[in-house]
Chains A and B, each alone.
Chain A
Amino acid sequence: MRSIYTLVSTLVLLGIAAHAQTPAAKSALDKPALEAYLRHVELLPPTLKVNIGDPKPTIFEGFDEVPVEVVTPNGVASLRYYVSKDGKLIVKGTLFDINKNPFQPELNKLKTDLQPSFGQPGAPIVMVVFSDFQCPNCREEAKVLREHVERQYSDKIRVYFKDFPLETLHPWAKAAAMAGRCVFREKPAAFWDFHDWIYEHQPEISGENLKTKVIGWAETKNLDTVKLGQCIDTKATEKEVEREVAEGRALQVSGTPTVFLNGRPLTGAIPWQTLDQIIQRELSYQQTAKDAGEKCCEVSIPSLLPAKK
């Protein structure tokens, strides 16, 4: 509902004029009929192009899946519907496998190898944070993570950082993300100093002074500033940042901060009191479920022999 609503408000704000549509027919397997119905349900202005895909079989005997794309000026929104084989019903929703973690699809998509992290390796909870150094809510969320999560749950939670700069809103966010990755390349442990420093100084940073400020900070941390300056100038880490953004998009991240707590998406800056409750619930689930967390599904017997790889 919320995403539709955001989409609708975006579309509406664009002030797109509407014009008449083709008449609705009777079967949802008829593409124009389905399109007309969906335009009504989703309140899509007629000026936006809607691509209805071909029905594909699903695990339900009575339903086919129909992929739908809405082409907006901000990009293509992918929606998924299930249409009954008799063409009478349309279901919009998410499918869950009752015998698995509800957030298994998200867990499958989250890649945390070689990402900046703090906390306990092998922890029962993994939080993956998609963040933007120029976003004020991310600044709030970062404080919660560093002041509360790290202090209270250092043995139970591992936090990973992912860049998700919203370039259209935040002119220096991507450059800062790339600089952060340069710091991480040079000295992984310094990344969190950079993270804390940049959020702390967020209000004073601009597109013009970003590099000078970063280099100034790096000097105080005894980093190789020549190497760091080169990394920033050659945009050596741009691909990495873009890969993070693409991963976020594939996970339906549309705003920052978005945190995946053992796969569960949590959007916006969550107050510590609420987050703490969610963490406690998840910890108690994991005591029995053991279906998330770091290396949840591998059972290894401690041994003095070197691990076989």
Chain B
Amino acid sequence: MPWLIAVLCLMMLSAPAQQRQRTARAGPALSKIAIENYLRRLELWAPQVQIRIDDPQPFIPGLYRLEVHLTAGAASKDVTYYVSADGKTLIRGNAYELNRSPFQKELDALKLQYQPSFGPANAPLTLVVFSDFECPVCREEAQELRAKVRAEFPKDVRVAFFDFPLESIHPWAKPAAIAGRCVYHQNGPAFWDYFDWIYEHQPEIKVDNLKTKVMEWAFGTRLDTAQFSQCLDSRAMASEVDAEVATGRKLGVDSTPTNFLNGRRLVGDVPWPNLSQIFKLELELAKQPGK
């Protein structure tokens, strides 16, 4: 008799649990086609944009996370939405976990150990720059960062670099990025000489004189030019550049320059007076306990 009671108790315990699981597995009542049509209208995505919507993932009770992947030719972008369990409400926006950095996703994705950087490794602020050597706005930003960061924030700011060549509009941006990786692999600190040189000479460089110019520059440095030239020709670094671009895409980078300050995205060339104020404010906030 006691075993029967025990079995009944077990059944009573397990029944609601099973039910709960079933509702969770069922997912929100939504049609991906309806969502796609709704999003196309809301976001005005052009008809040639291909949309792939993942299965909704439980996020918190009553709310599901919806990953949407967009592609148009070579361009791609991922966007996150949230949708209610009844499938009636869509949220466009950001979700933050109170006990983690609001920019945790960015911080996790931005691995800096193989990226060129300047400034102290233990600086409280890290500015990650996604840039394109052929982009004029990037040039302005680059020259400003090089001139001002070390002078005004010598202990507090580290700047790290990621390539994000926009190949469709800048024909020599990717070969220039590859050359940069070649320099970096041969001699880490020399990357910044290359960086300063290429931005300075950006107006004179064209797709057909890039290699000549780059080699001319290399002969004036202590680089092993034979190895360097081979590196350029072999395009051995192309996959590294592609990986950098993929990192950027994963974080929604779609234009240059795009910067991440301790994970916080700052799009476009932020004027120095604003950027230095943001640095100061972040430094104050970084002093807060629990951050």
Q: Provide the bound-state CA to CA distance between A84 and B60, in Å.
A: 8
Q: Chain B CB within 10 Å — which of A28, A37, A59 has the most? A: A37
Q: Provide the bound-state CA to CA distance between A59 and B87, in Å.
A: 12
Q: Decide: B287 and A90 in contact? CB cutoff 8 A.
A: no
Chain A residues closer than 8 Å to B93, beta-carbon distance: 91-94
Interface residues of B in 34-83 (CB under 8 A from A): 34-35, 38, 41-42, 44, 60-63, 82-83
Q: Decide: B96 and A41 in contact? CB cutoff 8 A.
A: yes
Chain B residues closer than 8 Å to A18, beta-carbon distance: 280-281, 284-285
Q: Provide the bound-state CA to CA distance between A12 and B280, in Å.
A: 10
- Residue B94 CB within 8 A of the other chain: yes
Stretch at the interface among B141-149, B207-215, B270-278: B270-278
Which of A13, A36, A86, A102 contacts B274 (CB under 8 A)?
Answer: A13
Q: Decide: A97 and B89 in contact? CB cutoff 8 A.
A: yes
Residue-wise interface mask of B (130-162) relative to A, using a CB-CB cutoff of 8 A (1 in contact, 0 not): 000000000000000000000000000000000
Q: Decide: A24 and B290 in contact? CB cutoff 8 A.
A: yes
Q: Provide the bound-state CA to CA distance between A20 and B93, in Å.
A: 29
- Residue A88 CB within 8 A of the other chain: yes
Stretch at the interface among A60-68, A173-181, A203-211, A293-301: A60-68
- Residue A51 CB within 8 A of the other chain: no
- Residue B88 CB within 8 A of the other chain: yes
Chain A residues closer than 8 Å to B44, beta-carbon distance: 278, 281
In the complex, what's the smallest C-beta–C-beta distance from A290 to chain B, in angstroms? Answer: 13
Q: Provide the bound-state CA to CA distance between A23 and B287, in Å.
A: 10
Q: Provide the bound-state CA to CA distance between A281 and B88, in Å.
A: 24
- Residue A239 CB within 8 A of the other chain: no
- Residue B291 CB within 8 A of the other chain: yes
Which of A26, A34, A102 contacts B99 (CB under 8 A)?
Answer: A26
CB-CB under 8 A for A96 and B98, given A15-B277, A24-B290: no
Q: Decide: A26 and B98 in contact? CB cutoff 8 A.
A: yes
Chain B residues closer than 8 Å to A307, beta-carbon distance: none
In the complex, what's the smallest C-beta–C-beta distance from A291 to chain B, in angstroms? Answer: 10
Q: Decide: B289 and A43 in contact? CB cutoff 8 A.
A: no
Q: Provide the bound-state CA to CA distance between A25 and B11, in Å.
A: 40
CB-CB under 8 A for A23 and B290, given A61-B62, A92-B93: yes
Chain B residues closer than 8 Å to A86, beta-carbon distance: 60
Which of B90, B96, B97, B277 contacts A96 (CB under 8 A)?
Answer: B90
- Residue A89 CB within 8 A of the other chain: yes
Which of A23, A62, A87 contacts B98 (CB under 8 A)?
Answer: A87
Q: Provide the bound-state CA to CA distance between A41 and B91, in Å.
A: 18
Q: Decide: A43 and B281 in contact? CB cutoff 8 A.
A: yes
Q: Provide the bound-state CA to CA distance between A230 and B252, in Å.
A: 57
- Residue ID in chain A nearest B95 by CB atoms: A91
Q: Decide: A102 and B41 in contact? CB cutoff 8 A.
A: yes
Q: Chain A CB within 10 Å — which of B90, B265, B273 has the most? A: B90
Closest 7 CB pairs of A and B: A93-B93, A18-B284, A12-B277, A62-B62, A61-B62, A62-B61, A23-B289
A residues near B, CB below 8 A?
1, 5, 8-9, 12-13, 15, 18-21, 23-24, 26-28, 33-34, 36-37, 39-41, 43, 45-46, 59-63, 82, 84, 86-99, 102, 278, 281, 285
Q: List 30 A-B contacts (CB under 8 A).
A: A1-B265, A1-B267, A9-B274, A18-B281, A19-B284, A20-B288, A23-B289, A37-B102, A39-B285, A40-B102, A40-B288, A41-B102, A43-B282, A45-B281, A59-B84, A59-B89, A61-B61, A63-B62, A84-B60, A87-B98, A89-B60, A92-B96, A93-B82, A95-B90, A96-B92, A98-B34, A98-B35, A98-B89, A102-B42, A285-B41
